[in-house]
Amino acid sequence: MKSLNIGMVGYGFMGRTHSNGYCQANHFFDLEYKPVLKAVCARNKDKAQAFADQWGYESVETDWRELLKRDDIDAIDICTPNNLHAEIAIAAAEAGKMVLCEKPISMDTAEGERMCEAVEKAGVKNTVWYNYRRVPAVSLAKQLIDEGRLGKIYHYRANFLQDWTISEDVPQGGAATWRLDAEAAGSGVTGDLLAHCIDTALWLNGSITDVSAVTETFVKERLHAETGEKKEVKIDDACAFHCHFENGSLGLFESTRYARGHKALYTLEINGQNASIRWDLHDLHRLEYFDHSDDSIVRGWRSVHISDGDQPYMNHWWVPGLNIGYEHTFIHQVADFLKSLETGEPCEPTFRSALETQKVCDAVLASASERAWKNV
């Protein structure tokens, strides 16, 4: 078995999900490559060491530049705030390292383009962690669409609703709430939540051609967690947009952090000429399916339990009827990345593919700012 030596930058929530994926992939998938947790990098050495001890990383660095100099690191996994993605990814590619980057790929399209050019020039493997593609139910939706079961697509709608920033006392900036600081995050719900919806939509339904959007920032000022000063909030708390897809269908997307009662409600529905499908993250192991060709006396929505071995990814897990969860999507992405090293195929979404999502996000924000339709 060949080793793939991992150097991870960052140790927060995503650092844990990725580390679990590296630890578990070879237990369930037959692969030629095995991840080796060589080093974790973060500014706080004590916290980084505690993370390394918990997850089994062999060493700790406090400067990602030092990590890139190491000959024993094959791949750099970027789990940092968004404003650090580009600098680290470009430098990693120039150092000949494979790059796995958290979403969204970049702060904006121009920055993302530089990242794409860097990995393509260096010829290094790359992928972006849009993990919802690896939910077996969503993968099955892709299979059904590609088989033509839905027929011509008319509508695609998705939303991603949370409620964790409603209180005006929630600060912006710092390790816990950097997503509320535009300098670190770039945007608010558009880049954080809608980016997931957009990536899945592009994968399932094809390219988006133009958008019309509205955004709102409900709390205009918040204390900054690091400086203690009250600063203007420049990210979007809520966003809604509609769009045209290249295949002629219409799209409707909504995201907010002000939907009281919703912690992470991500749903999607696709309506076609022959059939419809819908999925809910809160019931992620089920895909709802409506087939108009059913006899009228039994025609209706059916709930398909995704647990059988002939459904995507499920032959690697338990016996039929038993569920898997959120953490398995990252295990699947690790397994797919390792398999891509064997086959030479890209592990989607690559940087170039993920840049399409960034282009849509930028068009959405521009449309909301200018109150006009924007081409992607």
Q: What is the mean pLDDT of residues 272-278?
A: 98
Confidence label for 267 from pLDDT (cuts 50, 70 and 90):
very high
Residues whose CB falls within 8 Å of the CB of residue 149, separated by 6 or more in sequence, listed in order: 272, 274, 275, 291
Tokens of 170: 């929630």
CA angle 81, 135, 307 (to 5 degrees): 150
Beta-ladder partners of 338: none
What residue type is 367 in one-letter code? S
Classified as helix, coil or strand, 186 is: coil
What whole-number distance in Å separates Cα of residue 21 and Cα of residue 27? Answer: 10
What whole-number distance in Å separates Cα of residue 264 and Cα of residue 258? Answer: 11
Report pLDDT for 81.
97
Q: What is the mean pLDDT of residues 38-65?
A: 97
Report pLDDT for 283.
97
Residue bearing tokens 């960034």: 358
What whole-number distance in Å separates Cα of residue 140 and Cα of residue 110? Answer: 34
C-alpha distances out from residue 127 to 32, 101, 102, 236, 348, Å: 19, 6, 9, 27, 6
C-alpha distances out from residue 370 to 138, 212, 236, 243, 365, Å: 34, 10, 14, 16, 9
Report pLDDT for 246.
98
Beta strands in the chain (DSSP E): 2-9, 33-41, 59-61, 75-78, 98-101, 126-128, 153-161, 208-216, 221-223, 230-232, 238-245, 250-256, 265-272, 275-280, 286-291, 302-305, 374-375
Q: Per residue in 160-198, pLDDT tens?
A: 999 999 999 999 999 889 999 999 999 999 999 999 999
What whole-number distance in Å separates Cα of residue 13 and Cα of residue 38? Answer: 19
Confidence label for 70 from pLDDT (cuts 50, 70 and 90):
very high
Report pLDDT for 80.
97
Question: Are 330 and 18 a contacting pair, CB within 8 Å?
Answer: yes
Report pLDDT for 138.
98
Question: Are 161 and 265 a contacting pair, CB within 8 Å?
Answer: yes
Tell me the angle at which helices 13-28 and 45-55 cross, rounded to the nearest 10 degrees.
Answer: 20
φ/ψ of residue 76, rounded to 5: -105, 125
Tokens of 222: 């918040």
Confidence label for 223 from pLDDT (cuts 50, 70 and 90):
very high
Q: pTM of this prediction? A: 0.97
- What does DSSP assign to residue 194? I
Tally of residues, the chain: 376
Confidence label for 357 from pLDDT (cuts 50, 70 and 90):
very high
What whole-number distance in Å separates Cα of residue 84 and Cα of residue 355? Answer: 16
- Give the DSSP letter string of 201-255: HHHHH--EEEEEEEEE-S--EEEBTTT--EEE--S-SEEEEEEEETTS-EEEEEE
Beta-ladder partners of 180: none
What whole-number distance in Å separates Cα of residue 185 and Cα of residue 236? Answer: 11
Strand order in the sheet with 126-128: 59-61, 33-41, 2-9, 75-78, 98-101, 126-128
Q: Which of 320, 18, 300 is nearest to 7 (CA)?
A: 18
Report pLDDT for 128.
98
Report pLDDT for 117.
98
Tokens of 149: 């079961």
What whole-number distance in Å separates Cα of residue 149 and Cα of residue 141? Answer: 10
By the 10 Å C-beta count (0-12 exposed, 13-18 middle, 19+ buried), 358 is classed as buried
What residue type is 330 in one-letter code? F
